[in-house]
Amino acid sequence: MDFSAGLRYNESHAPGMPGSPCVEVPVMAICQIFMLPQEHWYGACVTDGTVMPLTAASQYHRNLDPNPTSNQAASLLLSDKGRYLYCPQGVQLDVENGAIRMESTQGDIDYGRGYTTLRGAYQAASRCHFPATGQTPPVLFFASPQYNTWIELLYNQNQEGILRYAQGILDQGLPAGILMVDDGWNPYYGCWEFSRRAFPDPKEMVDTLHDMGFRVMLWTCPFISPDSREYRLLAQKGYLVRDREGEPAVRTWWNGHSAILDMTNPGAQAWYHQQNRALMDRYGIDGFKFDAGDGGFYRNDDRTYVSTDANGQTQAWMDIGTHYPYNEFRAGFGQGGLPLVHRLADKNHSWGENGVASLIPHALCQGILGYAFVCPDMIGGGEYQSFTAHAKHLDAELFVRYAQCAALMPMMQFSAAPWRVLPDAYARLCVEAAQLHEKMAGRIYALAQDAAQTGEPIVRYMEYQFPGEGLAEVTDQFMLGPDILVAPVLEKGARSRRVHLPKGRWLLAGETPYQGGTTPEVDAPLEVLPYFIREKEA
């Protein structure tokens, strides 16, 4: 038996019983299993996507109680041999010397096995623990690029600049899409009203954007500025998270020090929804970018209306987003299968591990954790300190390859205007990447609709779609659904790349045939994104 001595396991997942129904899982505080020969494991934490898959040679340690990262995570590991480990709460996860140890101080651990492949393990885990709801985000998320004002305007969000940005989008031949007004549109946190100096007529601005064909989303967060009218009101009503001494918790985050709404409290939820509804009714706002809510801003010993841990508070924030079809999240824990848009955390303007090179591994990890509706970070890099540090010498080649990498993911998002920061020839290539995304929108949205029913990832590991073909460790290319293989160039100066083609016949850019089961070197000049479409058998 794989388990440590004295631990029980879920009999419904015994070998040879992959179709058995889910049953209540017994409590197992500690679960230890040993890797099988040539076994590969995936999941746990999007930030760690670059070290996946885990093998017998891996040394990996991650405490997810709570999730300390700025991206999505779940207490879930899945194997290409058809096994999985899952806990609904945060865990300590250790992989060393071929052993996987998952320890929980709070929840049950489910050990599923007998599902043969990575896909089989994922389908079983999804069905039991995070089934799809049947709902997708609105089609516009997938059909057109998104545009975020963050890098373009930073903390100087203003009506004139936003309208100028929107007009530039159209002037460049880019399609209208969702436009997200980022942090800085309101005077302080908790006062969800436009700053009148920067936005003299927000209704007129939103109406103009709608007339131009855009949908408009506003940045929001669960933070409340102390020493404000809203803070005093919410504290009096008991709508704020309290620390272990029972006082309203004031936490340090990237914009200073703030109290936090207790989203487990129905009264706090109602107050927050009222602020959002007023913005939608008064100005025509279509939805919200739900930022923050990171597990690291909460504590396991916080006092909340409904007793929960730090990850539970993150989940309560995510639940708020399900009330708004137009939503976006950057941080999360568990709760795969929901109709929420999940963006990758802000990336550096670099080719390295937290730059372009991380886009595919992180998106693949999002998908295998149950977050199907994924969006890579803002093209060129959304980590503003990194971006502004390079502002006078931006890497135009990096910008183009970033846009190409995003072009055949479910969503793509611009922020810094290519036509402003790049030479014309490079800006044009970014527009062409957006046009490719628009061209493939029908296929992409069909995959989103399928994911809403089946829960399956849209961005898939090669091993997920083609088990047993020696592709388990290929993480620099991906499958968009079952039939489109995307192999972006991720190295500076490269004008070709090697592509791992699964068995069968493949058409480069839907035209030039290649025989599968090979690893051809494919030409990829700067204007080319290598992608293949699987040829259907006669």
**DSSP structure class, residue 15:** T
Main-chain dihedrals φ then ψ at residue 4, nearest 5 degrees = -60, 155
- Kindly report the three-state secondary structure assignment for every residue of 255-311: CEEEEEECCCCHHHHHHHHHHHHHHHHHHCCCEEEECCCCHHHCCCCCECCCCCCHH
Question: What percent of the chain shows pLDDT beyond 70?
Answer: 95
CB atoms within 10 A of CB 160: 11
pLDDT band at 158 (very low <50, low <70, confident <90, very high): very high
| Global pTM value | 0.95
Q: What is residue 59's three-state secondary structure? A: coil
The torsion angle over the Cα atoms of residues 13, 17, 23 and 26, rounded to 10 degrees, is -30
pLDDT band at 538 (very low <50, low <70, confident <90, very high): low
The predicted pLDDT at position 295 comes to 97
**DSSP structure class, residue 191:** B
Name residues whose C-beta falls within 8 Å of residue 160's C-beta, 6 or more positions apart in sequence: none
The predicted pLDDT at position 326 comes to 98
* Average pLDDT across the chain, whole number: 94
Q: In this predicted structure, which of 27-36, 218-227, 286-295, 328-337 has the lowest mean pLDDT? A: 27-36
CA–CA distance, 409 with 359 (Å, rounded to integer) = 10
pLDDT in tens, 474-490: 999 999 999 999 999 99
Cα 508 from chain centroid (whole Å)? 28
16, pLDDT greater than 50 = no
pLDDT band at 19 (very low <50, low <70, confident <90, very high): very low
pLDDT in tens, 48-87: 999 999 999 999 999 999 999 999 999 999 999 999 999 9
2, pLDDT greater than 90 = no
pLDDT band at 195 (very low <50, low <70, confident <90, very high): very high
Q: What are the residue ranges spanned by the domains of the chain?
A: 11-129, 459-534
CA–CA distance, 110 with 84 (Å, rounded to integer) = 8
The predicted pLDDT at position 537 comes to 75
pLDDT in tens, 262-311: 999 999 999 999 999 999 999 999 999 999 999 999 999 999 999 999 99
Which of 345, 384, 468, 473 has the alpha carbon at shortest distance from 154? Answer: 384
**Do residues 311 and 302 make contact, with C-beta atoms less than 8 angstroms apart?**
no
335: left (phi over 0), alpha (psi -120 to 50) or beta: left
CATH of domain 459-534: 2.60.40.1180
CA–CA distance, 165 with 419 (Å, rounded to integer) = 10
Give the H/E segment covering residue 153: helix 150-153
Quick one: tokens of 337?
């299968």
CA–CA distance, 203 with 210 (Å, rounded to integer) = 11
pLDDT in tens, 110-127: 999 999 999 999 999 999
| CA angle, 344 then 226 then 298, to 5° | 45
Main-chain dihedrals φ then ψ at residue 360, nearest 5 degrees = -70, -50
pLDDT band at 28 (very low <50, low <70, confident <90, very high): low
